[in-house]
Structure 1
Amino acid sequence: MSVLNSLQSNQLRLSIHDWNLLSKLTYCYDENSGFSLAQCFLQQHNNLHPKMRYKLTRLSELFLSFIGRAEVFFENNPHFNSLCSHDRSILLHNTMKYVGGLGACFIIRQTGLLNDLTIFKSAEIIYGSGILANTMRVISQLNFDSTFFKLLLALVVFSTFNYTYYTNVAPINLKDTTTILHIQNMYAELAWRYLIYKYDDERAVVYFSNFIRCLFSFHDVVIEAFEMKHCKDMVKSVIEQTKKTIALTE
């Protein structure tokens, strides 16, 4: 039994390749810039006269910038860049709403942005009480360290489903689903090994379960949010900007 445990332990250790991949992920998505942006906004917000704090346009632009931070995750991910233009375009269109939205929620959680009552009320005016309540539930579930969270975003980038809402546009199939699923599995296995390395088996299971629960919760947010033209336009603008940045053609 001790030999078996030793073998299992060795298999779950992070290799040099794993550490290199984690390092690249950290480079891909630097959440600190989003934190700084939120903190700067809070400071400026608190310096305003109370009557001037309900500026909805400024808050919308801030949330858009949070979602836009996901651009670098696509731009700098070597596995994403290794795919053909066709598949990169489909993944970008299908997953940006998740990657950008979850990234925005993580920044909001870490900075406590919505703890400010006037900002919360302004967000409620923009998005409605239902969407905001569901978003707050997602934010409360994002109790992950930044490295594990980036691994989760990588998993989402290579998700092959897109059943968020009904559309009259026929779905376009991926050309190399096998490779994409292989990349997704690689990130899933790395996420598991990372959790075992940092925590233990029991907590690893809890964290993965929480991630799945969080993803389902955010799925509900996206469905509701995409009923609003404003939200759809926000994601669309980020997608179009990302396509220009990575020189992606249809």
Structure 2
Amino acid sequence: MYEALVEEFLVSVYETAGAYLRFNDDLRHLSSNDCSIILRSAADNVCCMSGAFIMQHSHLYGLNSFLKAMNAKYGKHTVDIHIWARRFIDPDIVLVKLSISLFAFSENTCCYYSETSKDLTNPIDIAKIQNKYAKLTWRYLLYKYGHHDAVKRFLNITLWLAAMNILAVHARTLIVHVHDIDSIIEQTEITLMLDDVDQIIETNQ
């Protein structure tokens, strides 16, 4: 029974990540080539970060039965990375949301799947998106915590992003995770394609 609850939790993480990507305006404004490159990386990043935060926020790391179920599904090494990386998770929910948006568009060429093109058509577009979220994050930190604590928390964010990158790279070796990511990507691509068709129809009416 507990395994079923854990499975339900994991499904909700992937579904929520997919919804975030399908309704993300930044993705919609990228070229089709750039979108396909960023989408796969973004799906991994958003799933890993959101899942890790929810597990920390809900105190799931302290439940042995939960960790046992995660071990059975993803392996001990995956859980060990999660437990190690949790130290960098900020309790500020707003800051975490901004961090997820920032990391979603952090393209890292060493993390791409081999069958995916690595050449962005317009990397400036990606840089602009990253810069937008970096500025928002920094302004929020200054407003909420002041300069001294803002610097400390921003540094901690970079450590969390690095830790999540390690988790995301490892996750790409897990068949069950890759299958779920492929499903998110397929659904997102279909949604974006249908939206483009609707826009063309509206324009031609």
TM-score after normalising by structure 2: 0.84
Larger Rg computed on CA atoms: 1
Deviations 1:66-94 (A, max 9, x none): 03212232233323322222222221112
Q: CA deviation at 1:61?
A: 4.2
User: 1:68, 1:100 within 8 Å by CA — same for their partners in 2?
Assistant: no
Q: 1:227 aligns with which of 170, 173, 192?
A: 173
**What is the 5 A alignment of 1:8-87?**
52-53=1-2, 55=3, 58-87=5-34
**Residue aligning to 1:111:** 58
User: 1:90, 1:174 within 8 Å by CA — same for their partners in 2?
Assistant: yes
Q: Does 1:145 align with 2:92?
A: yes
User: 2:37, 2:116 within 8 Å by CA — same for their partners in 1?
Assistant: no
In structure 2, do the counterparts of structure 1 residues 244 and 170 end up closer, same or farther at CA, with 3 Å as the change threshold?
closer
Q: Does 1:124 align with 2:75?
A: no
Q: 2:47 aligns with which of 87, 100, 108?
A: 100
**AA matched with 2:157:** F
Deviations 1:212-247 (A, max 9, x none): 111221222222222221221122222222222333
**AA matched with 1:105:** A
In structure 2, do the counterparts of structure 1 residues 77 and 136 end up closer, same or farther at CA, with 3 Å as the change threshold?
same
Q: Matched residues in 1 for 2:183 and 2:24: separation?
A: 20
Aligned partner of residue 231 in structure 1, secondary structure: helix
**Residue aligning to 2:129:** 183
User: 1:109, 1:140 within 8 Å by CA — same for their partners in 2?
Assistant: no
Deviations 1:39-70 (A, max 9, x none): xxxxxxxxxxxxx43x3x55234213203212
Q: CA deviation at 1:168?
A: 4.2
Identity across matched positions, percent: 27
For structure 1, the residue ranges without an aligned partner over 5 or more in a row are: 1-51
**Residue aligning to 1:154:** 101
Q: Does 1:241 align with 2:154?
A: no
Q: Matched residues in 2 for 1:144 and 1:215: separation?
A: 15
* Alignment coverage as a number of residue pairs: 195
Q: CA deviation at 1:170?
A: 5.9
User: 2:40, 2:181 within 8 Å by CA — same for their partners in 1?
Assistant: no
User: 2:102, 2:134 within 8 Å by CA — same for their partners in 1?
Assistant: yes
Q: Matched residues in 1 for 2:114 and 2:47: separation?
A: 24
User: 2:90, 2:96 within 8 Å by CA — same for their partners in 1?
Assistant: no
* C-alpha RMSD over aligned residues: 2.2
Aligned partner of residue 227 in structure 1, secondary structure: coil
Q: Matched residues in 1 for 2:167 and 2:150: separation?
A: 26
**AA matched with 1:103:** S
- Which has the larger share of helix? 2
Q: CA deviation at 1:103?
A: 0.8
Q: CA deviation at 1:173?
A: 1.4
For structure 2, the residue ranges without an aligned partner over 5 or more in a row are: 197-205
**AA matched with 2:182:** K
Q: 1:192 aligns with which of 138, 144, 148?
A: 138
